[in-house]
Amino acid sequence: MNTLSKFLHTIPGAAVITLLILSIPLIAMQFTQEVDWGVGDFIVMGILIFSMAVAYVLLARYAPNFIHRAAIAGAVGSTFLLIWVNLAVGLIGAGPHAGNLMYIGVIAVVIIGTYFSRFTAKGMELTMFCAALSIVLIAVIALLANMQSYPGSSIAAIISVNAFFAFLYCISGLLFRYMALQQTPEKSEM
């Protein structure tokens, strides 16, 4: 079991996981008309799943313990879910709208913040909280721009979806904060 776990935390393991996940809709397409993926869908999702799995594998190599790996998984998982939902159905309204392009900014915050943080717990904490703040700002902009009038959208939908993703990034940020506090040398009392 330990050997399998070690394999899954490698880049070839990420490829196997990607293929296994992509086999789910492929098999489902054989039994139902509800799942109707084209070649492009498989390519886009394959690239997305594989890149997120590789990001986790590369970042988790430097994680000293389970909590740090959980924080990394939260960051990568939240970003994956944000991209996937936005590509699949859109986060603002039903379907493609210009408002959904604002979420590219969140991805940029995560990527740039991760790069400049040099993967330190304190830097990643700040990055996750900045990602959460950027999602809140997107919700405010969407409401001020009257995007709740888009088909399939509402004030409650915009607030709840954005609050959900901000919450996910905050949880990851809190886990990184815990790690940063654990790494801070305690000052001795004199």
Phi-psi region of 161 (alpha: psi -120 to 50; beta: other; left: phi over 0): alpha
Residues 79 and 48 in one domain: no
Take residue 136 and report the two structure tokens written for it: 């809140």
Do residues 104 and 134 touch, judged by C-beta distance below 8 A? no
Residues 67-122 have pLDDT tens digits of: 999 999 999 999 999 999 998 888 888 777 888 999 999 999 999 999 999 889 99
Cβ-proximal residues to 5 (8 Å cutoff; 6+ apart), any chain: none
The predicted pLDDT at position 59 comes to: 85
Whole-angstrom distance, CA of residue 152 vs CA of residue 159:
14
Last residue of a domain, one of 61, 88, 109: 61
Residue 157 placed within a domain: yes
Residue 170 placed within a domain: yes
The predicted pLDDT at position 188 comes to: 43
Cβ-proximal residues to 174 (8 Å cutoff; 6+ apart), any chain: 125
Residue 141 placed within a domain: yes
Whole-angstrom distance, CA of residue 114 vs CA of residue 58:
13
Count other Cβ atoms within 10 Å, centred on residue 86: 21
| Structural domain count, the chain | 2
**Residue 1 predicted with pLDDT over 80:** no
The H or E element spanning position 90 is none
The predicted pLDDT at position 36 comes to: 87
**Residue 5 predicted with pLDDT over 90:** no
Residues 32 and 83 in one domain: no
Percent with pLDDT over 70 in the chain = 95
Residues 52 and 68 in one domain: no
The predicted pLDDT at position 186 comes to: 57
* Mean pLDDT, the chain, whole residue set: 90
Provide mean pLDDT across the span 155-159. Answer: 94
**Residue 187 predicted with pLDDT over 60:** no
Residue 190 placed within a domain: no
Task: Provide the residue type at 82 as one letter.
Answer: L
The predicted pLDDT at position 88 comes to: 84
Provide mean pLDDT across the span 163-183. Answer: 95
State the residue range of the domain holding 164: 64-185
Give exposure, 138-170, as e/b (b: 16+ Cβ within 10 Å).
bbeebeeeebbebeebeeebbbebbeebbebbb
Structure pTM?
0.86
Whole-angstrom distance, CA of residue 90 vs CA of residue 100:
6
- Computed on alpha carbons and rounded to an integer, the radius of gyration of the chain in Å comes to 19
Could you tell me the pLDDT band of residue 17, with boundaries at 50, 70 and 90? very high
Provide mean pLDDT across the span 159-186. Answer: 92
Least Cα distance to 138 among 86, 81, 87 occurs for 86
The predicted pLDDT at position 24 comes to: 92
**Residue 190 predicted with pLDDT over 80:** no
The residue with greater pLDDT, 63 or 169, is 169
